Amino acid sequence: MADAKILLCFSKLKLSKFIRADTLKEFAIRHSQIRNLFNYLYTMSEYSLADAMKQFLNKSQIKGSVQALQIEEAWEQIMGKTIAKYTEKIQIHGQTLYITTSMAPLKQELLFQKEKIIERVNDALGEKTIKEVVIL
């Protein structure tokens, strides 16, 4: 609709004689993209920086990686020093938390604590992100 208005404005100003039709269409497309960008930036200005970052992360594909980093930083507080010391890797794919350790007794302990791990990790993240835990 806006593209048609722009083309109409150009034709009323008799500029269409001097500018090719494909150039006018390209201009209308660019104008539409710029308008969308400004609308997005305007709505983002209504939020705090923290809210804007949360919205960005919710829409991006790096959310799981960022959450995994948050969990790694707080892992010792969440699970204790001993478990943190022998945990090799923490990853999130979708709603699943993957915990890697080479210690067989620790694997058994973590298997028994799956529900508690889910609860503690979700509390640390401040949202119900994790629904399943896989011990590797």
One domain for residues 18 and 73: no
> CB of 136 within 8 A of CB of 100?
yes
Distance set, CA 134 to CA 6, 50, 90, 108 (Å): 56, 30, 10, 12
For residue 19, what pLDDT is reported?
Answer: 47
One domain for residues 65 and 42: no
Predicted TM-score (pTM) of the model is 0.57
Of 117, 125, 109, 114, the C-alpha closest to 68 is 125
- Mark the ranges of the chain whose per-residue pLDDT is less than 70: 1-47, 49, 52, 57-58, 60-61
Q: Please, what sign has the CA dihedral across residues 90, 92, 97, 102? A: negative
Range of the domain at 10: 2-46
For residue 14, what pLDDT is reported?
Answer: 46
Asked whether residue 97 is assigned to any structural domain, the reply reads: yes
